[in-house]
């Protein structure tokens, strides 16, 4: 299996409104994966279809309080841009996946 990704220049909108610029002198940008096993849900026709509903699947597990705190810390200290919070980019409404992401983050933020 292969994973392919693309890199695009979002300097004008995806970097805190253009405040953080990409340092293209650092190119090429590379990433590597070890022991990667994709278990993804597919979004189609307004609904998510997941490969498994087993209670042992990571898809059906929830973060414990330590995991929630770790996720909060990572978002606060490392996340530059969250397109699900970008109302300027999506003035007519957020993409469907943002409803799920926002709901999940609200649960984590309110669990303190």
pLDDT the model gives residue 66 = 93
What span, in angstroms and rounded, lies between the C-alpha atoms of 108 and 66?
A: 11
What span, in angstroms and rounded, lies between the C-alpha atoms of 9 and 18?
A: 11
Class of residue 6 by CB neighbours under 10 A (exposed 0-12, middle 13-18, buried 19+)? exposed
Q: Which residue did the predictor score with more confidence, 102 or 51?
A: 51
Q: Are the C-beta atoms of residues 10 and 21 closer than 8 Å to each other?
A: no
pLDDT in tens, 27-57: 887 777 788 777 777 878 888 777 765 666 6
Res 18 pLDDT > 60: yes
What is the pTM (predicted TM-score) of this model? 0.48
Res 91 pLDDT > 60: yes
What is the phi/psi pair of residue 72, to 5°? -60, -45
């Amino acid at each position: 299996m292969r994973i392919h990704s693309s890199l695009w220049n979002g300097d004008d909108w995806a970097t805190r409104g253009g405040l953080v610029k990409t340092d293209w002198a650092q190119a090429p940008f590379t990433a590597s994966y070890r022991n990667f096993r994709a278990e993804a849900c597919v979004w189609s026709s307004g609904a998510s279809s997941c490969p498994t509903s087993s209670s042992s699947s990571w898809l059906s597990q929830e973060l414990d309080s330590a995991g929630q705190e770790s996720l909060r810390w990572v978002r606060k200290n490392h996340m530059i841009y969250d397109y699900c919070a970008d109302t300027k980019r999506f003035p007519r409404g957020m993409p469907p996946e943002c409803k799920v992401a926002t709901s999940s983050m609200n649960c984590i933020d309110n669990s303190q």
